[in-house]
Structure 1
Amino acid sequence: MGAEKKTDSLPSSPIEKRYISLEEVKKHNQPDDRWLLIENKVYNITNWAKKHPGGGKILGHFSGQDATDAWRAFHNDKDYVKKFMKALYVGDLERPEESLTELKSDFRELRKHVEDSGMLKTKPWFYVLHLAHIILLEVFAYFLVSYYGGGLYTFIAAAIILATAQAQAGWTQHDYGHNSVFPSHKMNKIFHHIVIGHIKGASSHWWNFRHFQHHAKPNVGKKDPDVDFPYLLLLGEHFPVTWGKQKKGFMPYNQQQNYFFLTMPPLLLPLYFHFENILFVFKRRDWVDLLMTVSFFGRYFYLYTQFWGAWGTFGFYMFVRFLESHWFVWVTQMSHISMKIDVDRDNDWFTSQLVSTCNVDQGLFNDWFTGHLNFQIEHHLFPTMPRHNLHKVAPLVKSLCKKHNIEYLSLPLFGAFARLVTSLKKSGELWYDSYYNG
């Protein structure tokens, strides 16, 4: 008995830390077996992925890869998030130097400089004024119709004003969705629900589900939903050639630069996004988002039915969406479709954003018209950065590109539009040549 007591009093042996090779991490990249590498620590997110607030897909896109820079880019509240990660911890990376390149190191130094210099801090007045000008446009459109009545010219003028308000509200909800307005994640979430739900009539969770996948793996087929619609358009060089050789596709892709004008710009918001929003909300039983959407349509029809009746108001609403859709498609696609579109090559964060994204030249109109998405490169590298600071980091990004011989592309506004169409033509020709001559 005495010997047993002596043994029980001995301190327990410390648990030996597990070290995992980079090769081992890369093996865990299947839907039923997913590991992530974050800051040289390995996490098993196989079962937890479905609980992830940003959706499970975005985590799955990095399975078996180093997600350090993506994780840092998306999370302002890192200490809070790390509390949930403790239970997922598997071990430490065996040889950290294997995953750290000079480019990664340089970008992480840039990231630290951005944080230390206050570039992630918001100027509240900027967003107050921006939201105010959207509300003023909405009020102006209503009083225009109230004063002049529901004639044809008023119908068109009010629709243009409201389309402008809706486009600008789209850029504003984008700010709240990226947690770049308030220090508090909760406040950003509340305002995102209000702006995208009550002012725009769409689902906050649907936007998060789509948009963060786009940011995680921009222009990567089957991972970025913004470039993954091959039954309408084939983009880049890899997919047109692959589909052509496999004799896939039923669209005349060699003419896609022409029918693009009749499909994506006029129809994306009026048709596709409505359908996808409704399907998403009901499939996930997201009643809060549904309530916010109902409040938008309730307000809309309450204000305008008195002038045009129910069906006339519906036609007015769809015309507004038709106008807004052109604005939205050209601005959001001009910086991506003309860039590299490929399968996942497991590029580092900096490279993956630069090869898939280009800028549009700075200017007062361009900044307003695009919601500062003319700084698409900087926004993709630092998605939580307030947009009024994007121009500050641009010279530093250019310098890093120059050091590592990476192209930093910035174009005039209409030059970016033209390049988009040219890239569609090139991709279509690649498909045609591969299909008939490959």
Structure 2
Amino acid sequence: MTLEEKPGVNGCVGGRRESCPSEMSQANGKPRANGNAKGSPKQEANGKSNAPRGCLNTYTWQEIQKHNQDGDQWLVISRKVYDVTEWAHRHPGGPRVLNHYAGEDATDVFRAMHPNLDVVKLYLKPLLIGELAPGEPSQERNKNPQLVEDFQELRRTLEAMNMFDGRLQFFFLHLAQILILEVLAWLLLYHFGNGWTVTILVSFLLTVAQAQSGFLQHDIGHLSMFKKPKWNHLMQKFVMCHMKGLSAYWWNHRHFQHHVKTNIYPKDPDIDVGPLFVIGESQPVKYGKKKIKYIDYDKQHLYFYLVGLPLLMPVYFNGKSLQIMYLHKVWVDIALVSSFYIRHFITFGPFYGIFGTMLLIYMVKFLESPWIAYVTQMSHIPMKISREENRDWLSTQVLATCNIEQSFFNDWFSGHLNFQIEHHLFPTMPRHNYHKVAPLVRSLCAKHGLQYVNKPLLTGFGDIVRSLKKSAALWIDSYYE
């Protein structure tokens, strides 16, 4: 029996089994997306989509879950089935983000990651190939439908409360803070010269400015601060490339993977820290059983202070950014990152010379590195790290993230990423609203028996090292058993 002959799989809405007149099929019998994936959103908005209207194929979850490979990717969004195979390489967030959800329900992650749904839905129209059969649940059968519905209801409540509306003045004040710090650094040099004391103060001011620039570009990378998407895109490139000296293209493709599959090995690149470290529970055991010993992992909690903290920014992030920019020929990023160095040479070159200015830049990156390492890792590494379990969106993020207690300093020091749970559940929410929605998220977690972890800042720092020691112990047990 061919796919077209299977009852209840293909047919028009209403349970009829005959094929829709406008259906297109591949040579192997698999239905393809109706319409051309290269069609423009403008054409879709004008009603020129080739997708059938009033007549859709229907599919079971069993059939959908087979389409989870690089060359065969289907997604389910709000019970509609989309074939994104041929369009994946054009996805602004990178093809891997789509591949990570191939064969799964992507309703909540789709809503979470896209600030402007009206634009995105236009791109979805030509990719539509059908919908879930009437008897199929809206999510995979392993998920708790009540939990999913409660989370979606929470999101609707937050939207009604305007929690996704940002205050531009908040972010402009943040930008003003960065510019003031950089101007102060230059004024110190201009008035007092480049003595050791002044150089230390200049390095401190620039380090704070660089860290806060990172938090600002993180905001812009997630939010829709301007009505036109291209202005958000250009603003993020300006802040990330020109003010930080790192590739926005590299950051987007890496960071979005981290958000959609947080702490899922190997889909989350942020936990792919081998062979230098082994983290979580499965990776240490895997390395141990295979007798892999690139480094003495028993000491990883110690060399974390010597390698992980100081080298994250100046070596790892900087190296990866340069590599991706040049391999993928991202010319806009290359030009703007070059302008970062040119700006520093113009500003500080008269005081330090070219070589001295390069030393200053990398000294600042070296000082910034522990700050960023602690902020990004304290809410993730100590939490659950696992292979794909296809959990619902709420459970995935709450199990993989934790919060740090709120205070004025903690909010400023972390760029409000002390609210990692809320940030991961609602990435497009402006950070000045996290503290308002946290009680509602905590209440929902309590209702469904999910542990909502909130800890002091120094405990978060210490938990990174404690989790590294725990993972090292698992590696030792497996290696020497």
TM-score range normalised by the length of the shorter chain? over 0.9
Alignment of 1:36-115 (within 5 A): 36-94=75-133, 95-97=135-137, 99=139, 101-115=145-159
Task: Tell me which residue corresponds to 2:44.
Answer: none
8 Å Cα contact 2:77/2:107 also seen in 1? yes
Alignment of 1:351-362 (within 5 A): 351-362=395-406
Cα offset for 1:15? Answer: 7.1
Q: Distance in 1 between matches of 2:367 and 2:322?
A: 21
Cα offset for 1:183? Answer: 4.3
SS in 1 for 2:85: coil
SS in 1 for 2:276: coil
Q: Distance in 1 between matches of 2:364 and 2:208?
A: 9
Cα offset for 1:98? Answer: 5.4
- Name the stretch that deviates more: 176-185 or 271-280: 176-185
Q: Deviations over 1:105-140 (max 9, x none)?
A: 100000111111100001111111111011000000
Aligned letter for 1:18?
Answer: N
- Are 2:431 and 1:392 aligned? no
Q: Distance in 1 between matches of 2:98 and 2:293?
A: 30
Q: Distance in 1 between matches of 2:274 and 2:147?
A: 33
Cα offset for 1:180? Answer: 4.7
Task: Tell me which residue corresponds to 1:128.
Answer: 172
Task: Tell me which residue corresponds to 1:195.
Answer: 239
Task: Tell me which residue corresponds to 1:9.
Answer: none
Alignment of 1:14-413 (within 5 A): 16-94=55-133, 95-97=135-137, 99=139, 101-413=145-457
Unaligned runs of 5+ in 2: 1-20, 23-52
Q: Distance in 1 between matches of 2:100 and 2:404?
A: 28
Change (3 A) 1:380 1:180: farther
Q: Distance in 2 between matches of 1:114 and 1:102?
A: 18
SS in 1 for 2:292: coil
Q: Distance in 1 between matches of 2:444 and 2:301?
A: 34
SS in 1 for 2:129: strand
Aligned letter for 1:97?
Answer: P
Cα offset for 1:17? Answer: 2.4
Q: Distance in 1 between matches of 2:232 and 2:146?
A: 35
Q: Deviations over 1:284-335 (max 9, x none)?
A: 1111111111111100011111111111111111110000011000011000
Task: Tell me which residue corresponds to 2:473.
Answer: 429
The runs of at least 4 aligned residues of structure 1 exceeding 2 Å deviation read 12-17, 95-98, 180-187
8 Å Cα contact 1:360/1:374 also seen in 2? yes
Aligned letter for 1:297?
Answer: Y
SS in 2 for 1:27: coil
Considering fraction of residues, name the structure with more helix: 1
More contact order relative to length (CA 8 Å, sep ≥ 6): 1
Q: Distance in 2 between matches of 1:50 and 1:76?
A: 21
Task: Tell me which residue corresponds to 1:5.
Answer: none
Unaligned runs of 5+ in 1: 1-11
Matched residues, number: 426
- Name the stretch that deviates more: 47-56 or 181-190: 181-190
Q: Distance in 2 between matches of 1:209 and 1:294?
A: 21
Cα offset for 1:96? Answer: 4.1
8 Å Cα contact 1:181/1:386 also seen in 2? no
| Percent identity for Structure 1 against Structure 2 | 47
8 Å Cα contact 1:180/1:385 also seen in 2? no
8 Å Cα contact 2:243/2:340 also seen in 1? yes
Aligned letter for 2:95?
Answer: G
TM-score with structure 1 setting the length = 0.95
TM-score with structure 2 setting the length = 0.87
Cα offset for 1:369? Answer: 0.4
Q: Deviations over 1:15-74 (max 9, x none)?
A: 742110011111111111111111111111111100101110110111111111000001
Cα offset for 1:76? Answer: 2.0
Q: CA RMSD in A?
A: 1.4
SS in 2 for 1:97: coil
Q: Distance in 1 between matches of 2:227 and 2:304?
A: 40
Task: Tell me which residue corresponds to 2:15.
Answer: none
Q: Deviations over 1:357-394 (max 9, x none)?
A: 00000010000000000000000000000000011110
8 Å Cα contact 1:22/1:98 also seen in 2? no
Q: Distance in 2 between matches of 1:80 and 1:287?
A: 26
Q: Distance in 2 between matches of 1:290 and 1:98?
A: 44
